[in-house]
Amino acid sequence: AQTVTQSQPEMSVQEAETVTLSCTYDTSENNYYLFWYKQPPSRQMILVIRQEAYKQQNATENRFSVNFQKAAKSFSLKISDSQLGDTAMYFCALVSYSGGGADGLTFGKGTHLIIQP
């Protein structure tokens, strides 16, 4: 079984600050992908960033970047120049591939990020 752990239930930072959300995971598969999803109060699930396990280079998307430490099974999300619109639940998720098919995402319990004006 695979697991995803987010150890920070809630974080609060001031607008324009940089914040890092932690995530650790466990899987026995070699072929897997990691994601960060954002869920604002509207409850839509919005993809923030994606990382292929076979790539050593950390993924970046504008103000969002990850620190992927494969040996440590760690996948943290850094948000630079945080904005009020970044306030949301953030979920770390993992999908593994065994036998050629994806088995669905495994999610952490989420981190509630609050950006203070």
Partner 1 sequence: DGGITQSPKYLFRKEGQNVTLSCEQNLNHDAMYWYRQDPGQGLRLIYYSQIVNDFQKGDIAEGYSVSREKKESFPLTVTSAQKNPTAFYLCASSSHRGSGQPQHFGDGTRLSIL
Q: Which positions touch partner 1 (CB under 8 A)?
A: 4, 6, 31, 33, 35, 42-45, 47, 50, 52, 91, 93, 95, 97, 100-110
**Nearest residue to 90 via CA among 34, 52, 47, 51:** 47
CB of 15 to partner 1, least distance (A): 25
| Closest CB to partner 1 among residues 16, 109 | 109
Separation of alpha carbons 3 and 45, rounded Å: 20
* Six-digit token string for 106: 């495994």
Backbone angles phi, psi at 41, to 5 degrees: -55, -25
CB of 29 to partner 1, least distance (A): 12
Tell me the residue length of the chain: 117
CB of 113 to partner 1, least distance (A): 14
* Six-digit token string for 117: 């004006």
CB of 114 to partner 1, least distance (A): 15
Separation of alpha carbons 52 and 22, rounded Å: 18
